[in-house]
Amino acid sequence: MNDEYKKLMRKCINLAKKSEGHVSPNPLVGAIIFDDKFRIISEGRHEKCGENHAERNAVFAATENLKGKSIIVNLEPCSHFGKTPPCADLLIEKGFKRVIVGMVDPNPIVSGRGIKKLKENGIEVITGILEDECKKLNEIFIKNQMEKKPYITIKTATTLDGKIATKTGSSKWITDETSRKEVQKLRNKYDAVLTSSSTVIQDNPSMTCRLKNGRNPVRVVIDTNLSTPPNSKIYENNNAKVIIITGIKPEKKYPKNVEIIKCKLKNGHVDLKEAVSILYKKGIMSILIEAGGILTNAFIQEKLADKLIQFVAPKILADKNAKTFAEGCSRKEIAECNNLIITSTKKLKNDIIIEGIFVK
Catalytic residues, which ones?
A: 55
In which element (H, E) is residue 188 found?
Answer: helix 177-189
How far the first Cα of the chain sits from its last, in Å, is 39
**What does the alpha-carbon distance between residue 357 and residue 343 come to, in Å, rounded to a whole number?**
7
Pairing of the two strands 98-103 and 124-127: parallel
Alpha-carbon separation of residue 108 from 103, 105, 111, 145, 236 (angstroms):
13, 8, 5, 8, 40
How many C-beta atoms surround the C-beta of residue 100 within 10 A? 23
Question: Are the CB atoms for 154 and 301 separated by under 8 Å?
Answer: no
Please, what sign has the CA dihedral across residues 90, 92, 94, 96? positive
Residue 98 bridge partners (DSSP): 70, 124
Q: What are phi and psi of 90, to 5 degrees?
A: -65, -40
Question: Are the CB atoms for 254 and 226 separated by under 8 Å?
Answer: no
Question: Are the CB atoms for 244 and 223 separated by under 8 Å?
Answer: yes
Alpha-carbon separation of residue 343 from 37, 57, 308, 309 (angstroms):
35, 32, 10, 10
> For residue 10, with 0-12 CB atoms within 10 Å meaning exposed, 13-18 middle and 19 or more buried, which class applies?
middle
236: CB partners within 8 A, 6+ apart: 206, 255
